[in-house]
Amino acid sequence: MVTPAQRINQVKEYYFSLKLKEIARMNAEGKEVINLGIGNPDQPPAPEVLEILNTTSLRSDVHGYQSYIGIPTLRQSFSKWYKRFYGVALDPEREILPLMGSKEGIMHISMAFLNPGDEVLVPNPGYPTYASVSQIVGAKIISYDLQEDKGWHPNLKALEEKDLSNVKLMWVNYPNMPTGAPANSKLFEDLIAFGKRHHIIICNDNPYSFILNDNPQSILSVPGAKDIAIELNSLSKSHNMAGWRVGMAASNPQFIEYILRIKSNMDSGMFRPLQEAAAKALSLSDDWYQQVNRVYKNRKKLVLEILKSLQCTWQENQSGMFVWAKIPAHYSSAKELSDKILYDAHVFITPGFIFGSGGERYIRISLCTPEDKLKESLNRIKNHITK
């Protein structure tokens, strides 16, 4: 009998992968489920970005393998983008590595820095990939709580009461997903000092700083941060290019070289027209970001109405393309509420437990659905759930 590797037993199929199959079955039965679950931007990339993709792909000399480190134009564009929006200087030659989205960066970084048995600090609630990738590489997960009354920021003092001697890496993600909590300079400064004190690499996963957020911030803006921090960024959400798979890692040249050593053994570069178009996206004017955000802002008003009708409560200062809200006491769990809404109103809302036990009494609604569908969801929920 052929048995899979042990690591297969350590990870389950991704929750959304399973749920989307169930939604597809319900749709096949004619139920027309509205999916308010996934953060998959439905607005298109900027027309000038698509233009570059189209014209470049017609050339005959762009279809071969590309460099493992991305074309210089793309690395330079990332560098200018970091300077313009985050005030961070990055050497395009040595401190930036283009990636196929930030998700793969989580795997590359884990493979580059974690030995089996090394400990890794993972937020609860948090993006599930930090934990699943840690398990795949055989690291030991030390989960740390994020709490609403602490602004969903880690309690570093409480962490320092533990033995941190085996901890190698800490995942943080601000603006935070799923909670929408913003960072602030003090948090980033404290994290860098904490990382340096304990020789823990601080990885900030930063794909949401351009969505409903007036003040994009990078952990690398803290003086000396590059010595101990890595930042992941992505065009998936900021430029409506999730399916293109373009992201980046930034850090000191040595860390970038370690990550490249893994990555260059796993893929063979990104399609050149896509890189040229991504470089264009990074130079779009402020107007473009504002226009995308106007759409999210209007949708958010409707999402808040949905949450109000469900008697949920939420924090006002959320960034990113979701709203995270606490469910009322009369539901036993967010899973119960999410399933009820799915089966009775045919609307899918993400239950917070998939982000860890800290999310058990929360739900997350995505802003990636047009207003007419949100209005329809509101009506269905009013008719079937809260009547």
Ligand X SMILES: Cc1ncc(COP(=O)(O)O)c(C=O)c1O
Residues that bind ligand X in the complex, under the rule CB under 6 A: 39, 101-103, 127, 173, 177, 205, 207, 234, 236, 242, 247
Beta carbon nearer to ligand X, 269 or 380: 269
Residue 229 to residue 220: CA distance in whole angstroms: 7
Residue 243 to residue 237: CA distance in whole angstroms: 10
Q: CA of 264: how far to CAs of 68, 259, 357, in Å?
A: 6, 9, 36
Beta carbon nearer to ligand X, 119 or 205: 205
Minimum CB separation of residue 217 from ligand X in Å reads 15
Beta carbon nearer to ligand X, 208 or 314: 208
Beta carbon nearer to ligand X, 102 or 134: 102
Q: Measured on CA atoms in the order 30, 31, 36, 39, is the torsion positive or negative? A: negative
Minimum CB separation of residue 355 from ligand X in Å reads 10
Minimum CB separation of residue 18 from ligand X in Å reads 16
Minimum CB separation of residue 206 from ligand X in Å reads 8
Minimum CB separation of residue 313 from ligand X in Å reads 23
Minimum CB separation of residue 380 from ligand X in Å reads 25
SS (H, E, C) the chain: CCCCCHHHHHCCCCHHHHHHHHHHHHHHCCCCCEECCCCCCCCCCCHHHHHHHHHHHCCCCCCCCCCCCCCHHHHHHHHHHHHHHHCCCCCCCCCEEEECCHHHHHHHHHHHHCCCCCEEEEEECCCHHHHHHHHHCCCEEEEEEECHHHCCCECHHHHHCCCCCCEEEEEECCCCCCCCCCCCHHHHHHHHHHHHHHCCEEEEECCCCCCCCCCCCCHHHCCCHHHCEEEEEEHHHHCCCHHHCCEEEECCHHHHHHHHHHHCCCCCCCCHHHHHHHHHHCCCCHHHHHHHHHHHHHHHHHHHHHHHHCCCEECCCCCCCEEEEECCCCCCCHHHHHHHHHHHHCEECEEHHHHCHHHCCEEEEECCCCHHHHHHHHHHHHHHCCC
Beta carbon nearer to ligand X, 259 or 381: 259
Minimum CB separation of residue 6 from ligand X in Å reads 26
Beta carbon nearer to ligand X, 107 or 137: 107
Beta carbon nearer to ligand X, 92 or 207: 207
Beta carbon nearer to ligand X, 66 or 176: 176
Minimum CB separation of residue 353 from ligand X in Å reads 16
Minimum CB separation of residue 247 from ligand X in Å reads 4
Minimum CB separation of residue 15 from ligand X in Å reads 12
Task: List the Cα angle 22/26/30 in 5-degree steps.
Answer: 160
Identify whether the C-beta of residue 355 lies closer than 8 Å to the C-beta of residue 279: no
Tokens of residue 126, six digits: 């948090």
Instruction: Give the residue at shortest CB distance from ligand X.
Output: 101
Q: Maximum Cα–Cα distance for the chain, whole Å?
A: 63
Beta carbon nearer to ligand X, 127 or 271: 127
Beta carbon nearer to ligand X, 195 or 247: 247
